[in-house]
Amino acid sequence: MGNLLEILHKEVVPAEGCTEPIAVAYAVSLAAELLEEEITGIQLHLSGNIIKNAMGVGIPGTGQTGLPIAAALGAVVGRSHKELEILSGLTQNELKLANDLLDRKLLKVEIMDTPEKLYIEAQVKTENHTATAILAKEHTNIEYLALDGKKVTPKKSKADCGKPGLSDTEAYEGSVDRIFEFISTVPNSDLSFLLEGARMNKAISDEGLRGDYGLQVGKKMNQQSAVNLFGNDVANRIIAATAAASDARMDGSAMPVMTTAGSGNQGIACTLPVISLAELLGKDEETLARALALSNLVTVHIKHYIGRLSPLCGSGIAGGVGANSGIIYLMGGSLEQIKHGIQNTIASLSGMICDGANSTCALKISTSTNTAIQAATLAMNNIAPTTKDGVIFEEVEDTIRNMERLVQEGLGDTDKTILNIMLSKGGAK
């Protein structure tokens, strides 16, 4: 599975705001920074998955939702070097400039007919020049950057600095066995950076439990009242803490999140159940770091087959399976029990669809966290589905690979259908 420590450093990175609209802001910024004259137009060509995941999500520091304000901010902030933290430190003057740009009707958005699920093409124009930036496959992967059709060499991505050019197959295909061996033997000092991510995600969880964000899934589950059927047991405290982080993030909190495999919600889904359980069990930092390495790497492994963007909910399925693995590790489970947990979780969650980034992500994440806990409990009792059951195969790697087959063969038109339903709503833009 390539160098697993390199994969962790590449795939576990901070971001402020939902990664799809933030990636749009990043692409626009890359192009805008090549221009010196006043901007006269911005044209976006986007894959359907980008539009689906950017329509309904809050943009940090703006009180607004969706692609337009994200794209406009990219044109004015001028700090593409921050990549997915490009809106960090947003000022009121920058927000005013962005809204002025939108008021001038300079932004046009079109769906791009492309097989690439993650595709962002931003053309920024002035009276005399046109700059173009194309991101594809990954949120910060610059495939093309040009001024007036002449290619410009982009600065190297932070995520790629010092990393070998591993292909997808070399880097991400592998096995749960190898992941477990790695997290069991890697020097603890090499994993210490994951604890910073834990502190980051715990902070936004606490913010979600305090504030009135989104649907308040986590906050209301955490409050004890006559209309709350959830108790104050360990499971519900973990579920509430995890959902609350998504509540805050989807509603535009300006707090950063440590992402996993290109998604903040995936980072939340695969880490916060592990962080919360480690705290409740009084585990030390080394045990937590190893559990987080396991949960993140299992999530990345499964995302390789589901796809970077997908008709399936990566946060719920990949994040839920990753969380399940980390939970079992904290409970003292064996490699075989971790495999049981993966089988249990996939059997429960494999049909969860993605209908874009929005407030209901917290609902999906609460469901997946509950499933991860349930699946871990069964796994610790050595219970798992068999080859007689649905998409489950005897070998866990075959079951994981079935997720790719499900997406490619079974759900080919699902994304298009979901997006059409979303666009059919009155007032949808």
The residue among 160, 182, 199 that closes a domain is 160
- In this prediction the pTM is 0.91
> How high does pLDDT run on average in the chain?
92
Note whether 153 and 189 are same-domain residues. Answer: no
Judge if 388 and 416 occupy the same domain. Answer: yes
- Does 9 map to a domain? no
Whether residue 292 lies inside any domain: the answer is yes
Task: Tell me, yes or no, whether 186 and 282 share the same domain.
Answer: yes
Number of domains forming the structure of the chain: 2
Q: Based on the domain organization, do 205 and 149 belong to the same domain?
A: no
CATH number of the structural domain spanning residue 355: 1.10.4100.10
Domain co-membership, 73 together with 149: yes
Whether residue 58 is found in the same domain as residue 120: yes
CA 241 to CA 14: how far, in whole Å?
19
Give the domain CATH number at 28: 3.30.1330
169 found inside a domain:
no
pLDDT digits (tens, 9 = 90+) for 5-53: 999 999 999 999 899 999 999 999 999 999 999 999 999 999 999 999 9
- Contacts for 303 with CB less than 8 Å, ≥ 6 apart: 261, 262, 266, 314, 318
Residue 233 placed within a domain: yes
Q: What are phi and psi for residue 389, nearest 5 degrees?
A: -105, 105
Amino acid 365: pLDDT:
98
Q: How confident is the model at residue 142 (pLDDT cuts 50, 70, 90)?
A: very high
- Please tell me whether residues 143 and 261 are part of one structural domain: no
Task: Provide the domain limits for residue 398.
Answer: 174-423
Residue 417 in tokens: 């259908």
The per-residue pLDDT for range 357-399, each reduced to its tens digit, is: 999 999 999 999 999 999 999 999 999 999 999 999 999 999 9
Banded model confidence at residue 159, pLDDT cuts 50, 70, 90 = very low
Last residue of a domain, one of 128, 160, 192: 160
The last residue of one of the domains, among 160, 194, 217, is: 160
Q: What is the mean pLDDT of residues 75-103?
A: 95
Where residue 157 falls among pLDDT bands split at 50, 70, 90?
low
Is there a single domain that holds both residue 248 and residue 303? yes
Q: Give the DSSP per-residue string, 153-204.
A: PPPPPGGGTT-----HHHHH---HHHHHHHHHHS-GGGGTHHHHHHHHHHHH
Per the domain annotation, does 4 fall within a domain? no
Q: What share of the chain is helix, strand, coil (3-state, %, to 5)?
A: 55, 10, 35
429 in any annotated domain = no
Q: What is the pLDDT of residue 429?
A: 44
Indicate whether 428 belongs to any domain: no
Cα–Cα distance measured from residue 92 to residue 72, given in angstroms and rounded to the nearest whole number: 14
57 and 205 housed in the same domain = no
Q: Would you say residue 1 lies in a domain? A: no
Whether residues 286 and 354 share a domain: the answer is yes
Question: Is 188 found in the same domain as 101?
Answer: no
185 and 154, same structural domain? Answer: no
